[in-house]
Amino acid sequence: MATEEVDTLRRLNADVLLQVFEYLRPMRGLRPLSMSCRWIRGEVTPVLFRACLVKPKKPICAERFLPRSLWPHVLSLSLIDNCPDLIAMRDPEFRIPQELRFTNDPLLCGIMVPAFLATTLRAMPRLRSVCLAFFCREIHGMGWDTLAAILSTPQLRHFTLAVALFSPRQNPTPMDVKLLAPITTFRYLQTALRAELRDYPSQETALGLVVGALRDTLECLQLPSEVTPFGTLAGNLWPRLTQLHLLGEVNPTTDLHAPLVTLLAGMPSLRVLRLDFALPNGVDRKVLQLWPENYEAQLPWPQLDDLTVSFPSPGDQIYSYLPQSLQRLSLRCTPHHFFRLRNPYRFPFTHSPILRASEMLEILTKIAAPRLQYLQLEYCADAAEDDLMLCVSQRFLRLTFLEIHRYSPRDGGCDTVSSIALHLAKLGNLDTLRVYLEHEDGGALYDSTPIRPNAALLASRLPGLKMWLLQEDGHNAAWVPIGPTTTPNVVQMGDEKVMMFPFEG
């Protein structure tokens, strides 16, 4: 870089220079900029290396970790487990037999060395967030010694464990959890429904001890429902918790020993409640009611502004008592119903009792939420669908984002796409529409391109909207943007470029 250009950058104050670096960071422009001269590299380094990723394949040590010179700059650290013993718990019929390399226990990871992590993480003064993960569906766990080494790092505030099992062999002691850092965000993520998590019940015990010890500092908590310590959630006060997300297959006999309005009553500051529960075969959706009929309670979350409910029931009293401050509402199936229609064997132990449009209408008429901006609905069309769309257009005038998963009844007689569009056109603030429209023959309206005429009709009746249609193949799905073009075109959508597919008008 020329000297005069460097001098120009030197004239910028620190805040402006930081904004320049932040602008370049998402576009991967910081690394080449850092190579231009020594002064710029020194200025860029705290931004360039504030989030780092380490992917060890052997036991982690100084030679397989970040250079010590970078430690003062790291705020967020991701540790991706590439342990060769990942598949040790796999059925021998589906793997080549091999000896364990770095562990004596096939269930536990042997490369995330507790002693090294305990010493190293404490020496990273700006470290606030650690994510420990791997990205394949294997039975592979993190032992308590490894988890304790991370969770007891004094400066740590955010922790995520993804896919790996949480201490499946050993439970922490009460003394262990007294040494935990004052963590505000605790996420234990599973990317799919995993009933096999229940085969390792010590996870629930360990999680109960850990999150219970963090009850005074936690602000965000996410757990798989299969091993959620519901007793701990119900038996404590969570004064700072603002976000709770539970996802997975729920067992009503062991998990929901009381209605959720009581189980989660000790969370007075809760603003986001997402309950993505899957239902085991033979279990009635009424067990998921937050506030059953004739049950005496009071709404314990006066500041709630984001609610997700799976398989909602019209008889659930919660909808009559939601605060008027509610801004986001999702009434859905978990997993989405189209996965089950396209591949019934994908989730063999759960079922999907989807609501009819008339039942969804009964729910929405109970809700007084004048500030609602985001709404997600999943239902099967019936004779009440026109009234349902009319209800949406009249009661939720501030909607800016609407997502609809609509399924046609097998006996026909449902509302037309044109009628749906006419109602939605009355929503003057609507900016984005995402829709899944199942055709009467059981297929999606847009399972190939060019997109079919009914989808084109929907777009033509709602000009000016950012419209996305769900493209799915039974195994995966993706939102595809659509616009009134005649040839495929690449357009800018926010920070990324996407393909705009044509439709036939």
Same domain, 29 and 112: no
Lowest mean pLDDT among 44-58, 283-297, 490-504: 490-504
Does some domain include residue 27? yes
Predicted pLDDT at 469: 84
Same domain, 8 and 81: no
Predicted pLDDT at 58: 95
pLDDT tens string 128-146? 999 999 988 889 999 999 9
Instruction: Decide if pLDDT at 108 tops 60.
Output: yes
Phi-psi category of residue 371: left, alpha or beta, with phi > 0 → left and psi -120 to 50 → alpha: alpha
| Chosen domain end from 186, 212, 241 | 241
Total tally of structural domains belonging to the chain: 2
Does some domain include residue 24? yes
Same domain, 163 and 212: yes
Lowest mean pLDDT among 56-70, 291-305, 408-422: 408-422
Predicted pLDDT at 6: 53
Lowest mean pLDDT among 191-200, 208-217, 363-372, 410-419: 410-419
Report which of 400, 385, 406 is spatially closest to residue 336, judged by C-alpha positions.
Answer: 406
Q: Which residues contact 30 (CB under 8 A, 6 or more apart)?
A: 21, 24, 44, 47, 48
Same domain, 19 and 164: no
Instruction: Decide if pLDDT at 28 tops 70.
Output: no
By residue count, the chain amounts to: 505
Instruction: Decide if pLDDT at 496 tops 70.
Output: no
Letter for the amino acid at 463?
Answer: P
Residue 488's pLDDT band, with cuts at 50, 70 and 90, is very low
Q: Best-predicted range by mean pLDDT among 241-245, 291-295, 461-465? A: 241-245
Same domain, 109 and 237: yes
Residue 129 is classified by DSSP as E
What secondary structure, in 3-state letters, does 395-453 show? HCCCCCEEEEEEECCCCCCCCCHHHHHHHHCCCCCCCEEEEEEECCCCCECCCCCCECH
Count Cβ neighbours within 10 Å for each residue of 82-106 and write b for 16 or more, e otherwise.
ebebbbbbeeeeeeeeeeeebbeee
As a whole number, the mean pLDDT across the chain is 86
Same domain, 123 and 56: yes
Higher pLDDT, 412 or 390: 390
Average pLDDT of 154-159?
98
Average pLDDT of 445-464?
64
Average pLDDT of 474-498?
56
Predicted pLDDT at 254: 77
Residue 194's pLDDT band, with cuts at 50, 70 and 90, is confident
Instruction: Decide if pLDDT at 193 tops 70.
Output: yes
SS3 3: helix
What whole-number distance in Å separates Cα of residue 166 and Cα of residue 154? 20
Same domain, 78 and 169: yes
Does some domain include residue 298? no
Lowest mean pLDDT among 223-237, 318-332, 366-380, 443-457: 443-457
Instruction: Decide if pLDDT at 449 tops 80.
Output: no
Does some domain include residue 177? yes
Report which of 146, 161, 155, 145 is spatially closest to residue 71, judged by C-alpha positions.
Answer: 155
What whole-number distance in Å separates Cα of residue 494 and Cα of residue 505? 26
Same domain, 60 and 195: yes
Predicted pLDDT at 11: 63
DSSP string, 196-242: GGGG-THHHHHHHHHHHHTTTT-SEEEEEGGG--HHHHHTS--TT--
Phi, psi of 411 (to 5 degrees): -95, 10
Predicted pLDDT at 413: 55
Lowest mean pLDDT among 93-102, 322-331, 376-385, 420-429: 93-102
* Cβ count within 10 A of residue 387: 16
User: Do the beta carbons of residue 240 and residue 216 sit within 8 Å?
Assistant: yes
Does some domain include residue 312? no
Instruction: Decide if pLDDT at 61 tops 50.
Output: yes
Report which of 327, 284, 330 is spatially closest to residue 310, judged by C-alpha positions.
Answer: 330
Predicted TM-score (pTM) of this structure: 0.88
Predicted pLDDT at 462: 86
Average pLDDT of 222-244?
96
Report which of 294, 291, 335 is spatially closest to residue 311, judged by C-alpha positions.
Answer: 335
Does some domain include residue 493? no
Give the long-range contacts of residues 478-485, CB within 8 A, separation 24 or more.
479/434, 480/446, 482/446, 482/451, 482/455, 483/459, 484/459, 484/460
Same domain, 39 and 168: no
Domain span at residue 145?
52-241
Predicted pLDDT at 169: 94
Same domain, 22 and 58: no
Residue 32's pLDDT band, with cuts at 50, 70 and 90, is low
| Chosen domain end from 221, 241, 261 | 241
Instruction: Decide if pLDDT at 15 tops 60.
Output: yes
Q: Best-predicted range by mean pLDDT among 8-17, 246-255, 444-453? A: 246-255
Average pLDDT of 252-263?
87
Give the whole-number percent of the chain exceeding pLDDT 70.
Answer: 80
Instruction: Decide if pLDDT at 314 tops 60.
Output: yes
Residue position matching structure tokens 């040590």:
61
Predicted pLDDT at 378: 97
User: Do the beta carbons of residue 328 and residue 305 sit within 8 Å?
Assistant: yes
Classify burial at 8, counting beta carbons within 10 Å of its beta carbon; exposed 0-12, middle 13-18, buried 19 or more. exposed
| Chosen domain end from 190, 222, 241 | 241
Does some domain include residue 153? yes
Predicted pLDDT at 38: 72
Instruction: Decide if pLDDT at 287 tops 90.
Output: yes
pLDDT tens string 259-282? 999 999 999 999 999 999 999 999
Instruction: Decide if pLDDT at 450 tops 80.
Output: no
Same domain, 10 and 134: no
* Cβ count within 10 A of residue 129: 17
Predicted pLDDT at 448: 43
Residue 258 is classified by DSSP as S
Same domain, 35 and 82: no
DSSP string, 18-35: HHHHHHHGGGT-HHHHHT
Structure tokens at 109: 């990871």
Classify burial at 472, counting beta carbons within 10 Å of its beta carbon; exposed 0-12, middle 13-18, buried 19 or more. middle
Does some domain include residue 163? yes
For β-strands 432-437 and 401-407, DSSP reports them as parallel
